[in-house]
Amino acid sequence: MAENPFFAPSTLPYELPPFAEIREEHYLPAFRRGMAEQLAEVEAIAGSTEPPTFDNTIAALERSGRVLDRTATAFFSIASSNSSDGIMEIEKEISPELTRHSDSIRLDRALWARIKQVTTSDPEEAWLLQKYREDFIRAGADLSETEQARLRELNEELSRLSTEFAQALLKAATEAALVVEDPAELDGFEQSRIDSLRQDDGTYALPLLNFTAQPALSQLTNRDVRRRLFELSVGRAPGNFAIAARMAALRAERAALLGFPDHASYVVADQTAKTVEAVEEMLGQLVGPAVRNAGREAEELAGQAGFPIEPWDWPYYSEQVRKARYDFDDSAMRPYFELERVYRDGIFFAAGKLYGVTFSERPDLGGYHPDVKVFEVFEEDGSALGLFLLDPYARANKRGGAWMNNLVDQSLLFGLRPVVLNNLNVTKPASGPTLLTYDEVTTAFHEFGHALHGLFSQVRFPRVSGTSVPRDFVEYPSQVNEMWVTWPEVLANYARHHETGEPMPAELVEKLTAAEKFNQGFKTVEYLAATLLDWAWHRLAPGQEVADAEAFEAAALERAGIAVPQVRPRYRTNYFAHIFASGYSAGYYSYIWSEVLDAESVEWFKENGGLRRENGEHFRRELLSRGGSLDPLSAFRSFRGREPRIEPLLKRRGLD
């Protein structure tokens, strides 16, 4: 495998992975060589006869594992965005090996002994040293040999189960798709969308997106079709219930082994929340007002429908009520939200106004799929900043949702500038322009907020680069970026009719603004139900087994006071990928926790004149550029000038 592209740094600009050269057979040899090389590097660090210093221990660990890092970054991006049967088989095989590899480093007693002796007076080094010590303790470095052996078994089984959960979910998106023979059953869709759903056999298949209330429910006029779609959504991947229950039990056992009463306590100790009590206090302030709002909304929708509504009716009739009350039709906005213009004249325009950056498409640089576009990003003075990749379209081999990840971490240690990727799941039209819904536009701005966090990183060490911050802080900068979606100067620049170029009519903008708080009871209950379901699974005590996951789920929602029959959790257990196939276990609360900071920050921007360069510079300097190189709440206080308060969030959601 002398030609393996992972064995040496990429020669492309910014070390962009050479996707055109990478083949599936490259991954396993590169993973295994990368792990072997890093273990040799770690053995040299741990076995050094030199007194331990920051440079020969912590910085040396940061410098280790470059082949492995390049391989894993590219592979897991592909596994999420452009998978295949071969990729899925590799993932099954390599995930347990990677877990064993990580454990072999974190449980190395000689290495841990050296780390404990390191001292430094440099603030950034001291923070990284603290992070390493916390990482090793939380990984079980202080456990006995017997306890460490059991910990390794737990980690390996959890890794395997997480992969199984994710792959079952990916298959379910198409296997559980709504299939109809008569296109009349898709009444409510535009003809171009119906055409895009047509299969080779003449049927029409609507794949599932990864949440309960499928967006199509707001458009489909046939109630029975809506019911079928909803039932397919909530019933997908039924085998994942058992996987989830097993994972929750294993996580509880692991938490006890590490000295915590449950997995949630283990998780939040390393977050800005610090304690389960802090999380529960914040959630407790939201449940009552949200349920009351949802109850009022349900009564209103029943009046509109003429019968008690079911979960599959809510999105449809809420759209009817919104049209009637605000004379607002979401579909009337789509002609003004053309994908390329949203990015060029909206997202990039706002970033330019705030931060002085510019974007230039690089068609000479390829992604891992023809739909991926690559942009070079420049500072105001013309100097190079990094690369931004955009993969906007849904595919059968792409997981649901939207996300950002780094393909290259910014690091002064290696002299690397950032390469960041945004994934969306927009339906690609059979022909013509890609027109977005308002929610899809908001998602695009949100994910680009993550991208800015990665692009503006200016730190020495990859461990704390960009979005390497606590889970309950990472959503905060991206949520702030959503404020520019409807900012008048930004909206006027990008919201133009895709055929005529005419700006969105002022009255439509006014209706959008007036309608923004509509249906907040549903949205808040839907989110809180998922959050409290996550919390219930991860407050399980060690040894507490769940035989019937669906019954557990129902009881947990009742106990939390969030069981509203017409509003199901945004994610049920069987497709809750955030917590069973990603890094959000006992951390889904982080979206609302981050929104407290976000609402405070939006208030600050408005108080200080909004879309101004000096405001962007302040936010970038004090927060976005710092990555995880200091306490995140200290960064927030440096930006905002005070401790966060919940009142702006309650006001925003109409819960005050």
Please give the structure tokens belonging to residue 395: 């595919």
Rounded to whole angstroms, the Cα distance separating 583 from 541 reads 20
Give which of 66, 62, 30, 64 is closest to 44, Cα–Cα: 64
Helices 590-607 & 520-538, crossing angle to 10 degrees?
Answer: 140
How many CB atoms neighbour CB 273 within 10 A?
A: 23
Give which of 50, 58, 1, 45 is closest to 25, Cα–Cα: 1
Residues 103 and 157: beta-carbon distance below 8 Å: no
Q: What is the 3-state secondary structure (H, E, C) of 452-519?
A: HHHHCCCCCCHHHCCCCCCHHHHHHHHHHHHHHCCCHHHHHHHCECCCCCCECCHHHHHHHHHHCCCC
Q: Is-catalytic flag, 447? A: yes
> 205's torsion region: left (phi>0), alpha (psi -120 to 50) or beta?
beta
Residue of 62, 447, 475, 526 with catalytic role? 447
Q: Given the structure tokens 């998780």, which residue do they identify?
A: 267
Give which of 351, 358, 369, 468 is closest to 409, Cα–Cα: 468
**What is the DSSP-derived secondary structure letter of residue 15?**
G
Residues 333 and 508: beta-carbon distance below 8 Å: yes
Give the type of residue at 94: I
Rounded to whole angstroms, the Cα distance separating 652 from 220 reads 30
Q: Which residues are catalytic?
A: 447
